[in-house]
Chain A
Amino acid sequence: MAVVSTRAGRLGNRLAIAAVIIITLIFLSPIYWITSTAFKPLLLSTTVPPTVVFEPQVTPFVKLFVKRAQLTGPVDQEIYDAAPWWEKLVLDGGERLSRDGKGNVVYSAYPDRFVNSLIIAITSTLLAVSMGTITAYGFSRFRVKGEADLLFFILSTRMLPPIVVAIPMFLMYRAVGLNDTHIGLIILYTAFNVSFAVWLMKGFIDEIPKEYEEAALVDGYTRMQAFFKIVLPEAATGIAATAVFCFITAWNEYAFALILTNRRAQTAPPFIPSQIGTGLQDWTVIAAGTVLFLLPVAIFTFLLRNHLLRGMSFGAIRK
């Protein structure tokens, strides 16, 4: 398929590239809609018919970072004139900034929650991928009693709708003091992801010919050295793909983040969609929160893109 040199082949190649570009554009159109909403004035987010062309503004991003409340009357002109540019944007949108007892601006929970999300998602991804990789290697290379059953057990931990265990989980976490902690969520997300990581990594490691390692062992490597120096580099594609998927799952988890945390370890997903003032859903702020929250995953994936695409080129020596 990839080997094409005929004229028909070249034409086919061009058609394929054109098709990919068209499909990519279709896939991106909802993302474009979200992004454009993040720069709209609130009223333009739900016009009938929808507004496509508009003058972009940064108000949604300002609103995302401050606590605010709907104005119940007109703004005092003096207050308006004295306000910094970003406060004016909020006031123009019909809202006032919330202030604490000392009159200081109160910032929204978004930045803190964003950082919590980073800590929790990165740590749990590292854990899930490491555990998944070594366990997959163990199953792939050594004789394990009841291997098929054990693997199926590992898979089965992912079959139940997770909300079922929410109540037992909550009681268990409360009993051991894990609720509302970063570690609690890290452990939970690792548990969600590890079965997936084991299965995916086993798929990749199975494809790495054992001859590579045996050659290394003959050269005087220990098994551990062979694992680290031969197997891991060969499994890079698998590790990258697994890491991306695990990160995405942990990054976006909603239900447990909502139930198990109160104020210390809250993550961003439950915050982003809850932008309801007195009667209008603020689509623009939801979009702004979504766009910023998409960036870390997108960057992470983009950095790993070459690993993701390198493919399992080692498959050349097959039995």
Chain B
Amino acid sequence: MRNLTKGTLAGIGLLLASSTSVLAQELTILWAEWDPANYLQELVNEYQAESGVTVRVETVPWPDFQTKAFTEFNAQGSAYDLVVGDSQWLGAGSTQGHYVELTDFVAQHNLTTAMAPATMKYYSEYPGGSGHYWAVPLEGDALGWAYRKDLFENPDEQAAFKAKYGYDLAVPETWQQLLDIAEFFTRPDKNMYGAAIYTMNAGDAIVMGVENSVFAYGGSFGDYANYKVTGQLNSPASVKALEDYRKLFTYNPPGWGNAFFVETNTALAQGQVAMAMNYFAFFPSLINEATNPHAKNTGFFANPKGPNGDDFAALGGQGISVVSYSQNKDEAMKFLEWFIKPETQKRWAELGGYTCDAKLLESAEFRNATPYNEAFYQTMFKVRDFWALPEYAELLTEAADTFYPYVVDGQGTAQETLDKLAATWVDTLKSAGYAAE
């Protein structure tokens, strides 16, 4: 193997040499291991051909992404020049000095208008509304739904549905319809279930799922600007939303308490469910016949409205930031300048990336390019996000630990669950030094 001797020599050499020997003309981007990172590597290969600068996209497994990135940041490591970080990282990235401030860059290139407004707001600005920017939106993402068109369009099913619920079986426009449809298709004797949703008690899985219903019901996870939790997180709207999320869970396949993006896609591809919740980034495999036998019969829709007509969805996605400990900051900025060019963004979308470029998103060409792009376009204008404080991860694990027993095990009530979480969050925020209530 060609790297054997090289590796050994490097190993010995590095004992004495400092770890700063990153070659100039070389940039390293850290991201998680998934196809968008592969697409990004393909994209930056073209940058190399143009500029002569080698760009490597280094990936780590999703569950370890946060650990790896923050271990590097916290030790002020220069191993990575750029990082494609989660929207929630902005708080820590900006206040702890891990990210280079890009406010001037954003102004210079008019990014606030060039990129879709929600993406600038959630992937770049921190604190919210402050006009300080820390990232360039790279991969737009949000929660959407995939469904089995063949089941929805089957005349027998349509007749049976109409007889039972009194209205036509179609893509749900409200959460109530979503629940009806899920109930309708739940047929355990035929190994068929209504929906597959996020339930895993790890990372942001179950919390993202609950967010999707809470936001649509007009509830909230708190007033982020004023650190107000009580009365918001446990408002009647949030309680109803959580109750319905639990109800939806009962229309999932048995033992569905360990599910995240992999499992929901698998359930749909294996014909086990009629609808599946997932991030848009994971939908390409559902229109690929090699990975989904129902590819031709899979449709997509944006998160339905809540009972009061509120229309929101939970945000995913990432922006790319320059790591302030990098020794190639100038090169990194040059790369960002290239990345935001409209032709680069167009190429990015062609390769499979979810561009955040406003003009591209609105173009008919983009919206018709895939069966899910239209739903993605609709969703990106109605997204809301989780807390982005440096302490977001504490809030996130506390939320997951609290939601899980209610949603999956059916312990307690939605009101008790949210009251308990509100109290926990107030404590956590207070001990982090915020004037929380």
Contact = CB atoms under 8 A, between A and B. Distances in A.
A158 interface: no
Interface in A178-201: 178-184
A124 B281 CA distance: 41
Interface stretch (A215-223, A276-284, A293-301): A276-284
B330 interface: no
A281 B19 contact: no
B284 A48 contact: no
A48 B370 CA distance: 28
Interface string B35-62: 1101101100110110000001011111
A69 to B, nearest CB: 4
A119 B8 CA distance: 8
Given A69-B42, A115-B4, A276-B33, A181 B15 contact: yes
A258 B64 contact: yes
Interface string B60-81: 1110100110010011010110
B7 A115 contact: yes
A16 interface: no
B284 A72 contact: yes
B270 interface: yes
Interface in A73-102: 92-95, 98-101
A116 interface: yes
B262 A115 contact: no
Contact of A280 (B14, B36, B269, B351): B269
A263 B54 CA distance: 15
Contact of B59 (A68, A100, A274): A274
Contacts of B286: 279
A105 interface: no
Contacts of A183: 11-12, 14-15
A166 B75 CA distance: 12
B62 A276 contact: yes
Contacts of B269: 43, 46, 280
Contacts, number: 173
Given A71-B288, A72-B370, A259-B71, A277 B8 contact: no
B7 A112 contact: yes
Interface stretch (A167-175, A205-213, A224-232): A167-175
Interface in B284-299: 284-286, 288-291, 293
B46 to A, nearest CB: 7
A265 interface: yes
A70 interface: yes
A273 B61 contact: yes
A203 interface: no
Nearest to A95: B290
Interface in B86-136: none
A155 to B, nearest CB: 28
B308 to A, nearest CB: 32
A70 B38 CA distance: 9
A164 B285 CA distance: 38
A68 to B, nearest CB: 7
B34 A276 contact: yes
B176 interface: no
A264 B14 contact: yes
Interface in B10-37: 10-12, 14-19, 28, 33-36
Given A119-B8, A276-B62, A278-B283, A94 B288 contact: yes
A181 B11 contact: yes
A258 B68 contact: yes
Contacts of B33: 274-276
Nearest to A118: B4
B224 interface: no
The winner among B11, B45, B74, B283 for most chain A CB atoms within 10 A is B11
Nearest to B56: A263
A70 B285 contact: yes
Given A182-B8, A274-B61, A277-B34, A92 B18 contact: no
Given A100-B45, A180-B79, A274-B33, A264 B10 contact: yes
Contacts of A94: 285, 288-291
A70 B286 CA distance: 11
Contacts of A263: 28, 56, 58
Contacts of B56: 263
Contacts of B28: 262-263
B1 A112 contact: yes
B399 to A, nearest CB: 23
B10 A280 contact: no
A270 B58 CA distance: 13
A77 to B, nearest CB: 16
A166 B71 contact: yes
A278 B290 CA distance: 13
Given A263-B58, A279-B284, A70 B352 contact: yes
A279 B7 contact: no
Interface string A31-75: 000000000001100111000000000000000000111111000
B3 interface: yes
Contacts of A279: 261-262, 265, 278, 281-286, 291
A48 B285 contact: no
The winner among A95, A273, A278 for most chain B CB atoms within 10 A is A278
Contacts of A9: none
Contacts of B64: 258, 270
B258 interface: no
B185 to A, nearest CB: 15
A23 B62 CA distance: 37
Contacts of A116: 7
B11 A182 contact: yes
B281 A178 contact: no
Contacts of A12: none
A30 interface: no
Interface string B263-275: 0011001111000
A263 B265 CA distance: 31
B75 A170 contact: yes
A315 interface: no
16 contacts: A69-B42, A70-B291, A72-B284, A95-B290, A98-B42, A100-B48, A178-B14, A182-B11, A258-B60, A258-B64, A262-B58, A278-B35, A278-B282, A279-B265, A280-B269, A280-B285
Given A48-B271, A112-B3, A178-B15, 16 more contacts: A69-B39, A69-B352, A116-B7, A174-B77, A177-B17, A183-B11, A183-B12, A258-B61, A259-B71, A276-B61, A276-B262, A277-B34, A277-B35, A277-B285, A278-B284, A278-B352
Q: Which 5 A/B pairs are nearest by Cβ-Cβ distance?
A: A94-B290, A279-B282, A182-B11, A274-B61, A69-B38
